[in-house]
Homo-oligomer: A and B are copies of this chain.
Amino acid sequence: MKREELVANIARKGSFLCVGLDPDIKKIPAHLLEHENPLLDFCREIVDATAPYCVAYKPNLAFFESQGVQGWIALEETVKYIRENYPDQFIIADAKRGDIGNTSALYARAAFEHLGVDAVTVAPYMGSDSVKPFLGYEGKWVILLALTSNPGSKDFQFLETGNDKRLFERVIETSGEWAGPDEMMYVVGATQGRMFEDIRRVAPRSFLLVPGVGAQGGSLEEVCRYGMIPGDCGLLVNSSRGIIYASTGHDFAEAASSSASNIAAQMKSLLK
């Protein structure tokens, strides 16, 4: 999906919500466990319930991988289901991949050719040749980790690396030489609030994928105040647990729908 299309979808729906698909076999409603593929049916119902309120889905590969072959089937079928029924959704494989060039090329093939998603999250530690193989696919995106939402983000990402640049700023600056804002986004955690000002200094035009609103405590208002690009939005704000586990009973889909709808309503007013 091209940037213009994503921006148009956000404007049309009045939402920049990304729903994170983290289907934990130990957390999904018990009645689904009797189904042939519980993760798949869980994801399908969540997607049907939330699609009107979001512009993107982010299946988190760990949750599928932990179920082995069965999980991999659920992942492929979930992506296919979204593609066929909601073709205007942007699909992000949250994989945090990154390896030497020849191996990253295979991860790119897995994500873009086999799975057919629009974007994949990539870890920057191994540098240029670990990221570049994901680039150059028409309409596909790299979403590079910059400043994450977890406590461990403090361990390395804030290290001063000279020239008044912390590591996360250096990652954005250096990776800006590999790709422009039409094929690279950055992960920036919502828990970092004011940091969005610093991020916009080094990435004024880039879309940011923002986890950490909800379960992790980030504020949607702050993210928009400091991170939004006027006219373009430039944000995809992700919520996973707050939506997909809003209820763990038989009404999980209705609860997810209502949670997503609430966030979308907030977003609509923040977009104005």
Contacts and interface: CB of A to CB of B under 8 A. Distances in A.
A153 to B, nearest CB: 6
A202 interface: no
Given A110-B62, A167-B167, A124 B69 contact: no
A115 B114 CA distance: 22
A161 interface: yes
A123 interface: yes
Contact of A68 (B65, B76, B159): B76
B156 A167 contact: yes
Contacts of A150: 100-101, 126-127, 129-130
Contacts of A170: 156, 159
A167 B171 CA distance: 13
A188 to B, nearest CB: 13
A57 interface: no
Give how many copies assemble into the complex: 2
Interface in A99-114: 99-104, 106-107, 109-110, 113-114
Given A96-B98, A114-B66, A157 B106 contact: no
Interface in A141-196: 145, 148-157, 159-162, 167, 170-171, 174
A154 B106 CA distance: 22
A184 B266 CA distance: 45
A72 interface: yes
Contacts of A66: 106-107, 109-110, 113-114
Contacts of A162: 159-160
A63 interface: yes
Given A62-B99, A62-B107, A156 B76 contact: no
Given A62-B104, A125-B156, A126-B152, 12 more contacts: A62-B106, A66-B107, A66-B110, A66-B114, A68-B76, A101-B151, A127-B151, A127-B152, A127-B156, A130-B152, A159-B170, A160-B161
28 contacts: A22-B103, A60-B103, A62-B107, A67-B114, A68-B114, A69-B69, A69-B72, A72-B72, A94-B99, A96-B97, A96-B99, A100-B149, A100-B211, A100-B216, A101-B150, A123-B126, A124-B125, A125-B145, A126-B150, A127-B154, A127-B156, A127-B157, A129-B150, A130-B150, A130-B152, A159-B170, A160-B162, A161-B161
